[in-house]
A and B are shown apart, each in its own frame.
Chain A
Amino acid sequence: MREWAQYSVEEAGGRATVIVTGPLLVSSIGKLDPELRDYNESVQAIDITDAHPIDTVGAWIIHRFAERTGADIIGASEQAEALIDAVEGASSDAEIAPPRPHSIGDISENVGIKVIDFFGGVKSAIGFLGAVLMGAGGLILHPRRFRMKALVRQMELVGVSSLPIIGLMSFLIGIVIAQQGAVQLQQFGAETLTVNLVGRITLRELGVLMTAIMVAGRSGSAFAAQLGTMKLTEEIDAMRTIGVSPMEALIIPRILASVLMMPLLGFYASVVAIIGGAVIGEVMLGIPFWTFLARVQEVVPIYDFWVGMVKAPMFGLIIAMAGCYQGMQVKGNAEEVGLRTTAAVVQAIFMVIVLDAFFAVFFTEIGWA
């Protein structure tokens, strides 16, 4: 069992003495501390002859009590005296943590801050886009500074290494669309239209959109976390001082890799989804696998393919920009890296979907229905 420090009061000749016994250590003063804090009787001395061992926390409690009540400390060993002197010289009344506001009046203030931050964010995001364009322009003028290795490496990370997961995801999506679509279309005896459904929706919408979401989660977050950590460890500052532009070495390869890989990944996703649909056609609808694929060629207009391919690089640009921008905004502490990474993914997916809605209306209006 733990031995706690205790106290008793002794009165003699009108003089009250608080006698503390037991170890005065951080591990044993948990009970004594509130008792001494609440002690309000008159007291002339505090006796710590039988209180040992003692550490700075014990010394602090004795010192605080003596100072508050005006009692004399008696029976202090040499070590106790040294410790009490040390903590006495070190007392302060500074705040432990910066004030964290949470009153109701602050809500409006917080809303205001959020609004101002939002506009500030829009401004600096546009600024970032400008910086990227400037950097790209500089690279066009000085193509020798272009970092081919970095680009290839990022293309591998964004593209090649995400093939398995995107393939699996798309295959399952193809299966789900074909299976659910077939169930509904059977009610009208139109189950052969499942081919149209799968072929058109994957090439036009889902192939690219789902790929974009996957890339945002896989690569956009990685961009933000990498750049954010490099910012914290001053790697980016170091690059600048050496004369290496982080824009050229880090950001442009990532953005370019995403822009280049997104169409390829999107097309790959569409193809795998169609294969998934064809498998369901074979199993559920009795449409032979190869017939399904041949029918896709007949019923899907070529512009469906182009709709997907026009959107894909745009989505890639948005995802990489959001990731790199948020990563470069990190400052201060490790928590910020997490917040910025989250923000990168959320913003990327949100903007991709907004843009996708815009494109859907746009392409229908120009007659690519």
Chain B
Amino acid sequence: MSERDNHSDVEDAAYGDAPEQFAGEYPIRIRGLTNAFGDFKVHEDLDLDVKRGEILGVVGGSGTGKSVLMRSIIGLQIPREGSIEVFGRNITEAEPDEEIGVRNRWGVLFQGGALFSTLSVGENVQVPLKQFYPELDQELLDEIARYKVVLTGLPEQAASKFPSELSGGMKKRAGLARALALDPELLFLDEPTAGLDPIGGAKFDELTRELTDTLGLTVFLITHDLDTLYAICDRVAVLADKKVIAVGTIPELLENEHPWIQEYFNGPRARAATATHERGKALDKQGSEKA
């Protein structure tokens, strides 16, 4: 590509050329990823594909680099080696400006919510909208902020509250509202249900599933929550030994011999989660039969 072409590309992206919806099969493709801090290698030669329209759960013990993987994909962590393609564009080689073409197509929910503390929740939701679509009316921005806040399960008055006035769970929901502000195609959730009460957690799961189905999202979901895995994830990727050692549906993973996977899915908590899940399914069945 000549330098001139490159320039006009960047300009289009900066002015928010209506992004084509991604039509390929894999919005995220990672090949040979190596991440290291000093001598300590977090990932080595890691491969992972995320299918369009799926919720991919990412699990792994503490310190296996789940968050680092997410930060690599969204361009916050420069990998030492390997390539990461998001929507068919190589993130690792992209100039910062060029990434803008991708940034308005994903939403990220950080672990602590990472809300801007000097802005109210509603204003937080408006930040990405103002950044990418300056042509929108203030009135429309306000309306969007209002319905996004309610859509993520917050009470409507929460829109005018500051992050420091919210509880942990509400911060997560507000963070999700901001992540969804641009109606992204790709959503990154970093431990969305951690620290939520079981009811709140289950509602958050339901919400994620519902949004995924109505908006056609692809979700990259880091979690420790077995209930979340069973309830909403289409596939699960397991991180261990600096790699993704297995990707598949839960039944497929249960067949896997790897000791960590066995321990993870057959531990006491996993059995409890399975039981809950199956009870839920049985109840659903009963319900539908009665109806």
Encode contact with B along A37-61: 1 for CB under 8 Å, 0 otherwise.
1000000000000000101110011
Q: Tell me, in angstroms, the Cα distance from A27 to B185 when the chains sit together.
A: 13
Say yes or no for A11: interface residue by CB 8 A criterion.
no
Encode contact with A along B14-46: 1 for CB under 8 Å, 0 otherwise.
011111010000000000000000000000000
Count of A-B contacts judged by CB separation below 8 Å: 119
Q: Tell me, in angstroms, the Cα distance from A335 to B116 when the chains sit together.
A: 10
User: Are B16 and A86 touching (Cβ within 8 A)?
Assistant: no
Q: Which one of A31, A37, A60, A82 contacts B147 once the chains associate, using CB atoms below 8 Å?
A: A60
Q: How far is the CB of A78 from chain B (nearest CB, A)?
A: 10
Say yes or no for A333: interface residue by CB 8 A criterion.
yes
User: Are A97 and B117 touching (Cβ within 8 A)?
Assistant: no
Q: Tell me, in angstroms, the Cα distance from A1 to B164 when the chains sit together.
A: 42
Q: Tell me, in angstroms, the Cα distance from A60 to B161 when the chains sit together.
A: 23
User: Are A96 and B160 touching (Cβ within 8 A)?
Assistant: yes
Q: How far is the CB of A59 from chain B (nearest CB, A)?
A: 9
**Apart from A1-B17, A82-B214: 8 A-B pairs, beta carbons within 8 A:** A3-B18, A27-B104, A79-B214, A83-B214, A87-B151, A91-B146, A98-B161, A334-B117
User: Are B214 and A86 touching (Cβ within 8 A)?
Assistant: yes
Contacts of A94 in B (CB 8 A): 122, 146, 149, 156-160
What's the dominant secondary structure at chain B's contact region? helix
User: Are A90 and B214 touching (Cβ within 8 A)?
Assistant: no
Say yes or no for B175: interface residue by CB 8 A criterion.
no
Q: Which one of B126, B158, B160, B162 contacts A333 once the chains associate, using CB atoms below 8 Å?
A: B162
User: Are B136 and A87 touching (Cβ within 8 A)?
Assistant: no
User: Are B159 and A95 touching (Cβ within 8 A)?
Assistant: yes
What's the dominant secondary structure at chain A's contact region? loop
Say yes or no for A357: interface residue by CB 8 A criterion.
no
Encode contact with B along A54-87: 1 for CB under 8 Å, 0 otherwise.
0111001100100000000000000100110011
Say yes or no for B150: interface residue by CB 8 A criterion.
yes
Say yes or no for B142: interface residue by CB 8 A criterion.
yes
Given contacts A2-B17, A27-B19, A83-B214, contact A96 B136 (CB under 8 A): no
Contacts of B139 in A (CB 8 A): 37
Q: Which one of A27, A89, A98, A335 contacts B117 once the chains associate, using CB atoms below 8 Å?
A: A335
Given contacts A30-B133, A30-B136, A96-B142, contact A90 B159 (CB under 8 A): no
User: Are A55 and B215 touching (Cβ within 8 A)?
Assistant: yes
Which chain B residue shows the least CB distance to A31? B135
User: Are A79 and B216 touching (Cβ within 8 A)?
Assistant: yes
User: Are B160 and A2 touching (Cβ within 8 A)?
Assistant: no
User: Are B147 and A27 touching (Cβ within 8 A)?
Assistant: no
Say yes or no for A93: interface residue by CB 8 A criterion.
yes
Q: How far is the CB of B147 from chain A (nearest CB, A)?
A: 4
Which chain A residue shows the least CB distance to B141? A96
Contacts of B158 in A (CB 8 A): 94
User: Are B133 and A56 touching (Cβ within 8 A)?
Assistant: no
Q: Tell me, in angstroms, the Cα distance from A33 to B119 when the chains sit together.
A: 25
